[in-house]
């Protein structure tokens, strides 16, 4: 027969709980997407998604909470990083192209801003990216 399981203070205890005197496993905990998690995914979709990644060679996508950071392939401005930050108040984006270098000799990390654009609408993200880097995002 079924064994009785000791209850805990949390009714959704992961291992087991008592329901009508019988031990049953707890329902799986569903992870809900928060708006902070969705911002980076939305930005990537707005700039082209997988097509953007394939066309530009961008990699190392990092969710910054309110934006997206990525490493860029070689381009005309020598920028190797891009931050796209979402401004919730104005519903606009800020783009920061910069070059980050690391010295293996002195272990210093230097950052040089290449281009900073503020107040960009979502439909202008691809165009601004192409204008600064020279990398096309579509055929």
Reported as a single tens digit per residue, the pLDDT across 59-114 is 999 999 899 999 999 999 999 999 999 999 999 999 999 999 999 999 999 999 99
Expressed as residue numbers, the domain containing 39 is 35-133
Alpha-carbon span 113 to 2, nearest angstrom = 65
pLDDT of residue 21: 45
Q: Do residue 120 and residue 52 come from a single domain?
A: yes
Q: Do residue 17 and residue 72 come from a single domain?
A: no
Residue 3 has pLDDT above 80, yes or no: no
Q: Do residue 95 and residue 51 come from a single domain?
A: yes
Q: Do residue 39 and residue 92 come from a single domain?
A: yes
Q: Do residue 87 and residue 100 come from a single domain?
A: yes
pLDDT of residue 36: 65
Q: Do residue 43 and residue 89 come from a single domain?
A: yes
Q: Do residue 49 and residue 26 come from a single domain?
A: no
pLDDT in tens, 12-70: 554 444 444 444 454 455 444 556 678 999 999 999 999 999 999 999 999 998 999 99
Q: Do residue 104 and residue 48 come from a single domain?
A: yes
pLDDT of residue 18: 46
Q: Do residue 82 and residue 125 come from a single domain?
A: yes
Give the list of residues 6+ apart from residue 129 with CB closer than 8 angstroms, or none. 47, 56, 82, 95, 135, 137
Q: What is the pTM of this model?
A: 0.72
pLDDT of residue 115: 96
């Amino acid at each position: 027969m079924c064994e009785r399981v000791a209850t805990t203070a949390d009714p959704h205890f992961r291992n087991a709980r008592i329901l009508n005197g019988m031990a049953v496993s707890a329902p799986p905990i569903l992870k809900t997407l928060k708006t902070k998690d969705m911002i980076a995914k939305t930005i990537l979709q707005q700039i082209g998604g997988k097509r953007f990644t394939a066309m530009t060679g961008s990699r190392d996508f990092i969710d910054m909470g309110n934006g997206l950071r990525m490493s860029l392939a070689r381009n005309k401005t020598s920028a190797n990083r891009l931050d796209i930050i979402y401004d919730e108040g104005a519903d606009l984006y800020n783009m920061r192209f910069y070059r980050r270098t690391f010295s293996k000799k002195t272990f210093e990390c230097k950052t040089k801003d290449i281009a900073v654009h503020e107040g960009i609408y979502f439909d202008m993200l691809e165009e601004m990216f192409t204008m600064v880097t020279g990398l096309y995002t579509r055929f």
